[in-house]
Chains A and B, each alone.
Chain A
Amino acid sequence: MSDTFPPQGYVQTKSAVSGIEVYRPLKPEELEAARPVVDFRCPNCDGATGYSTDDGGLTCTFCGYHEAPEVEIVGKGAQEFEFTVETVERATNGWGQERKELVCNSCAAHTTLSTEMLSHTCPFCGSNAVVQSRAPQDVLRPRFLVPFVTTTENCRQITAEFLQNSWMLPNNLQNLARSTEYTPIYIPFWTFDARTTASWRAEVYNTDASRRRHAAPNWKWERPFLLKLGDREGKQWDWESGAVSLFTDDMLVSGSGQISLTLLKQLRGYRLSELVPYDPTFLAGLSAQAYDVDLESAWASARRSMRAKTKEACLEQASTRTTRNFSMNMDFSDESWRYILLPIYLATYRYGDKVFQVLINGQTGTIAGQRPVDWRKVAQYLGLAFLPGLLLAIIAAVLLANNLDVGGFIMMVAGIGLIAWIVFAVTTLSKAGKMAEA
C-alpha cells in the first residue's frame, strides 16, 4: 500500500457501496485536460511565440527568444485503440489550447488556428473568403503527430526545382516559387492495424507444366493419369484451396477530404517511427485541420484495401493465375486505430485564372502538385520536331518524281522519323496531361 493516499494520478470516482471509497487512475485525456489552456507568450517581451520548424522549439517572432524543444519520440509504439463504441466516445474533445476554427466559403475546408493567428487565406484553395466558426466539440483528439522537419526555406528550393524541371512548364513559374507562401499545416490521418485470416477455394486452370511445378516434392506425374483427369493436352480446371494470414501494420488513411488523394499518395513515405505524443506546443503558430473523414468511413476504406491485399495473397497461392469460382472467407482480428497528425506544407498559387496546389511532405520534403502546362510551348516543340521529317518527305517526293532511287531511301528515313515523332508526341502529351491534372 502507498504511503500517501491517494497516490498521485488517482482521482476519486463513484462508489456503489457505502463505506467504500474508490479511486481510479486519471485517464490520459483527463491529465491533459487538467493542464491549463496554453498561451504561447514570450517570457521576454510577451509577444506571440510559434513552433519553429527549424529546430522544433518555440521561437518568439518579435525578440527571437527561443525555447528548446522537449520531444519524446514514441514511434510505432504509440498507443493504439480498439474499435469500441465506448473508446470512440471516451476520446476527448478539443485541442488542449484555445483555438478557433475557420471555414472557407469557397471550398468549405475547416482549419483550426491558434488565437494569435488571423488567417486571411485558405491554405487549400487560396481563397480569402473565410469565416470564423465555433470549434467543433465532437472531434476526436489527435494523440500523436510527426513534427515538422522541413523548413520553409527548403520548401522554396524544392518548389523552385519542381517548377523548373520540365520544358513544358511556363518560363515565369520560377518566380512564383519565390513568392509563394507556404502554410505549414497538420493534416489528420488515421492509422489502422489488423490481422486478416482468410480461407479460399477456387477452380484453377492447370496445365501439365503448372501441375508439375506445384506438385513438388512428388514428381511422379504420369501421362495416362493426366489424360484421365483432363483433356487431351493435359489442361483442366482443378479445385484448389488454401489459407492466408496477413498482418497489416499502420495503414494510413487520410482524415481530410479537402486534399487530392492522388497528391497525398505521392506524398507518402512518412516515417511513423518518429511519432511523438501530441502536445499543443507543436501546433503553436501553425494550422491544423480537423478530420472530416470520420473513423468509421476511414476504417471502411482501410478494410477494402486490406481485403484486396488478402485476396491477392490468396490468389498468389493458386498454382496458376487463371481461376474461376473463387470464394473466400475472411476474419479481421486485432483491429486497432490511431488518430495522428502529419505535417504538410500547402502552397497554392494562381497562374492565369487557375489555382494550383502544391504539397510538400513536412518530414521528408517530398513534393507533389499540379503544374500549369504551357500548351503553346508544347505545340511549338512538337511542331519543331515534326519539321525535319516533313522536309525529308518533301525532298524524297521531289527526288522520286525525278526518278532518283535515293528518294526511296530518304522517304524511308522520313517514315521512321514520323513514327518516332508520333511516339514522342504521345509521351509528351501524356506527361503534360498528368502534370496539369495531378
Chain B
Amino acid sequence: MSETSQIENEKWIAAWGADWVLEGCASCNGVFVLPPEKVSQRCPVCGQAALAQMNPDDDRPIHTQPPELLLPFRAAREQLQQNVTQFAKSVWLAPADLQPATLLGRLQPVYLPMWLVDVQVQGEWQAEMGFDYEIVSHREQYKNSGWQTERVKEGRVRWEPRLGRLNRAYNNQMAPALEQQAEVERKIGRFQTQDQQPCQPTDLAGAIVHLPNRSPEDAWNEAVLGLQTAVAQECRQASEANHARGFKWSPSFANQHWTQLLLPLYTSYYLDDDNQAQMLLLHGQTGQLHGVRRASLKRARRVAGMVATVAAVFLLITLLLVGLGLTVAEEALAWAGVAGVLAVGVGGTAVLPLLYAWYVNNAQAAK
C-alpha cells in the first residue's frame, strides 16, 4: 500500500468522484464517504445518530485512497424482500415501525472495507501429518457348532512428522480494515472474495462507503494468522496428507502489497418504543439477514388492556348475576359462577402480552 504524494497534497476526496462528502458518526466513530444525496442521514452502521459532515483536510481519516477492488451486490431483490418480510413477521407485538415496507424502503447499500495483502513467504515449517489408512480385523461368530469369520476393515489415522521449507507467494490474504469486521461476519457470514472486480467510481453510485479504521500495519498480525492457516493447509496438501496438527513455522515476509477491497452490505433499521434505531444487516452477496427482534411494550400494554376490559365486563356480569341470584332467581347463581370463571380466566391471560414482550426484549438484550 502506498499513497501517492500527489493525493496527499491535493484534496484527497476528489479522487473518489465529484461532490463526494466525508461524514462521521459521533456514536460509533465510523467515517464514511458518501454521495451528496445521502448526507445527514442516520449512521448506516449503528443507526444511533445522524452523520455529521467532516472537513476532509482537517479530519483526515487513517486511509484516504479510493479502493482498488470491490465485491458487487449479488443478492437478489426478491431474496432481500423475502428475508425482510420473514423477519418482520417473526415478531408478535412488533413495534409499529417494524413493517416490511418500511424496512425495505430504508435499505441502504453500504460498502465495508477489507484489506487484501499479497506477500512472498519464506521459511521453515514442521507439523504432524495424518494419513488415513485401513486395517483388517476379524469378527467371528460361533453357531451350530461352526465358526463363521467375517473380515472387517477399520479406518485409522497414522501421524508422522514432516518438515520442510517454503518459498511461495500468497495473494489476497484477508485482513480486517474495520474493528467490527469479525462481528459483522459472525452475524451475516463470510464474504466470498473470488467474485472481486476492479472498483470504478460508477460502481459506488447510491452507496455509502465506510472508510477503514484499522491501518494495514495494525491489521498485519491478523493477516499473519490467516497466512499461517493457509500455509498449514498447503503444507498438508504438499505432504499429500489427510490431516495436520501441531503446525509450527518460522516465516519471513517480503514484497508486501496491500489492496483495499469493498464488501457489499445492506443495512436498514426500525424504531422501537423508545425511538431507538434497531439495525438490520443483510449480506450483499447472499442476502443473509441479521437483526435485533424487539417487541413493543406499548402494543403489549394496549392488548393487555383490551383483554383486561373483556375480563372486567365478565366480572360485571358476574356481580349482576350474583345480585339477581340472591334477590330474584336463585338459578342465576349458577350462571354467575360460569361468568366468574370466565372473568378470572380472561383476566389471567391479560398478562401474557406483557410477559411475552418482556421475555423477547430481554432475550435479545442477552444476545
A307 and B238 within 8 A (CB): no
Output the least CB separation between B341 and chain A (Å). Answer: 58
B163 and A14 within 8 A (CB): no
Output the least CB separation between B240 and chain A (Å). Answer: 5
Q: Report the bound CA distance from A19 to B166 in whole Å.
A: 6
A328 and B142 within 8 A (CB): yes
Chain A interface main SS type:
mixed
A22 and B160 within 8 A (CB): no
Output the least CB separation between A421 and chain B (Å). Answer: 43
User: In this assembly, does B27 line the interface, its C-beta being within 8 Å of a C-beta of chain A?
Assistant: no
Which of B66-74, B98-106, B133-141, B273-281 lies at the interface with chain A?
B133-141
B234 contact from A6, A20, A328, A329, Cβ within 8 A: A20
Query: Given the known A-B contacts A23-B163, A307-B147, are A17 and B138 also in contact in the complex, defined by CB atoms under 8 Å?
Result: no
Q: Which A residues, 1 to 16, have Cβ-Cβ distances below 8 Å to chain B?
A: 1-2, 5-7, 10, 13-16
Interface residue count on the B side (C-beta < 8 Å): 34
Q: Which residue of B lies closest to A12 (CB)?
A: B164
Output the least CB separation between A145 and chain B (Å). Answer: 26
Instruction: Fill in one digit per residue for B128-164: 1 if any A CB lies within 8 Å of its CB, else 0.
Output: 0000011111111111000101000000100011111
Output the least CB separation between B10 and chain A (Å). Answer: 41
Q: Report the bound CA distance from A121 to B126 in whole Å.
A: 55
User: In this assembly, does A21 line the interface, its C-beta being within 8 Å of a C-beta of chain B?
Assistant: yes
Q: Report the bound CA distance from A57 to B162 in whole Å.
A: 38
Q: Which residue of A lies closest to B126 (CB)?
A: A1
Instruction: Fill in one digit per residue for B161-195: 1 if any A CB lies within 8 Å of its CB, else 0.
Output: 11111111100000000000000000000000000
B160 and A24 within 8 A (CB): yes
Q: Report the bound CA distance from A335 to B162 in whole Å.
A: 27
Which of A83-91, A128-136, A258-266, A407-415 lies at the interface with chain B?
A83-91
Query: Given the known A-B contacts A1-B126, A22-B162, A23-B162, are A84 and B141 also in contact in the complex, defined by CB atoms under 8 Å?
Result: no
Instruction: Fill in one digit per residue for A364-397: 1 if any B CB lies within 8 Å of its CB, else 0.
Output: 0000000000000000000000000000000000
Q: Which residue of B lies closest to A15 (CB)?
A: B238
Q: Which A residues, 81 to 134, have Cβ-Cβ distances below 8 Å to chain B?
A: 82-86
A14 and B240 within 8 A (CB): yes
User: In this assembly, does A326 line the interface, its C-beta being within 8 Å of a C-beta of chain B?
Assistant: yes
B137 and A332 within 8 A (CB): yes
User: In this assembly, does B124 line the interface, its C-beta being within 8 Å of a C-beta of chain A?
Assistant: yes
Instruction: Fill in one digit per residue for A4-48: 1 if any B CB lies within 8 Å of its CB, else 0.
Output: 011100100111111111111100000000000000000000000
Output the least CB separation between B233 and chain A (Å). Answer: 10
Residues from chain A with a CB closer than 8 A to the CB of B141 are: 327-330
Residues from chain A with a CB closer than 8 A to the CB of B242 are: none
User: In this assembly, does A249 line the interface, its C-beta being within 8 Å of a C-beta of chain B?
Assistant: no
Output the least CB separation between B231 and chain A (Å). Answer: 8
Output the least CB separation between A298 and chain B (Å). Answer: 14
A83 and B162 within 8 A (CB): no
Residues from chain A with a CB closer than 8 A to the CB of B168 are: 17-20
B136 and A5 within 8 A (CB): no
Output the least CB separation between B139 and chain A (Å). Answer: 5
User: In this assembly, does A333 line the interface, its C-beta being within 8 Å of a C-beta of chain B?
Assistant: yes
Output the least CB separation between A195 and chain B (Å). Answer: 11
Query: Given the known A-B contacts A1-B124, A1-B126, are A19 and B135 also in contact in the complex, defined by CB atoms under 8 Å?
Result: no
Residues from chain B with a CB closer than 8 A to the CB of A332 are: 137-140
A82 and B135 within 8 A (CB): yes
A22 contact from B133, B142, B238, Cβ within 8 A: B238
Q: Report the bound CA distance from A203 to B335 in whole Å.
A: 72
Interface centre among B134, B136, B138, B147 (most CB of A within 10 A): B138
Q: Which residue of B lies closest to A14 (CB)?
A: B240
A329 and B139 within 8 A (CB): yes
B137 and A333 within 8 A (CB): yes
Residues from chain B with a CB closer than 8 A to the CB of A326 are: 142
B140 and A330 within 8 A (CB): yes
A22 and B164 within 8 A (CB): yes
A10 and B163 within 8 A (CB): yes
Residues from chain A with a CB closer than 8 A to the CB of B84 are: none
Query: Given the known A-B contacts A17-B238, A25-B160, A86-B133, are A330 and B139 also in contact in the complex, defined by CB atoms under 8 Å?
Result: yes
Interface centre among A22, A303, A307, A330 (most CB of B within 10 A): A22
A327 contact from B136, B143, B250, Cβ within 8 A: B143
Residues from chain A with a CB closer than 8 A to the CB of B239 are: 13, 15-16, 22, 24
Q: Report the bound CA distance from A2 to B239 in whole Å.
A: 19
Residues from chain A with a CB closer than 8 A to the CB of B162 are: 22-24
Residues from chain A with a CB closer than 8 A to the CB of B143 are: 327-328
User: In this assembly, does A331 line the interface, its C-beta being within 8 Å of a C-beta of chain B?
Assistant: yes
Q: Report the bound CA distance from A314 to B30 in whole Å.
A: 76
B138 and A303 within 8 A (CB): yes
Q: Which residue of B lies closest to A333 (CB)?
A: B137
Q: Which residue of B lies closest to A327 (CB)?
A: B143
User: In this assembly, does B248 line the interface, its C-beta being within 8 Å of a C-beta of chain A?
Assistant: yes
User: In this assembly, does B40 line the interface, its C-beta being within 8 Å of a C-beta of chain A?
Assistant: no
Q: Report the bound CA distance from A307 to B142 in whole Å.
A: 10
Output the least CB separation between A311 and chain B (Å). Answer: 6
B142 and A15 within 8 A (CB): no
Q: Which A residues, 272 to 316, have Cβ-Cβ distances below 8 Å to chain B?
A: 303, 307, 311
Residues from chain A with a CB closer than 8 A to the CB of B51 are: none
Query: Given the known A-B contacts A1-B124, A5-B124, A330-B141, are A20 and B136 also in contact in the complex, defined by CB atoms under 8 Å?
Result: no
Output the least CB separation between B161 and chain A (Å). Answer: 6
Q: Report the bound CA distance from A303 to B136 in whole Å.
A: 13
Q: Report the bound CA distance from A21 to B125 in whole Å.
A: 9
User: In this assembly, does B362 line the interface, its C-beta being within 8 Å of a C-beta of chain A?
Assistant: no
Interchain residue pairs with CB less than 8 A apart (16): A1-B124, A1-B250, A16-B238, A17-B237, A18-B168, A19-B169, A20-B166, A20-B168, A24-B161, A83-B135, A303-B140, A329-B140, A329-B142, A331-B138, A331-B139, A335-B138
Which 4 pairs from chain A and chain B are nearest by CB?
A19-B168, A17-B238, A20-B238, A328-B142
Extra 8 A-B pairs, beta carbons < 8 Å, given A2-B124, A19-B167, A330-B139 = A1-B126, A16-B238, A23-B162, A23-B163, A83-B135, A84-B134, A328-B142, A335-B135
Give A residues with C-beta under 8 Å from B: 1-2, 5-7, 10, 13-25, 82-86, 303, 307, 311, 326-333, 335
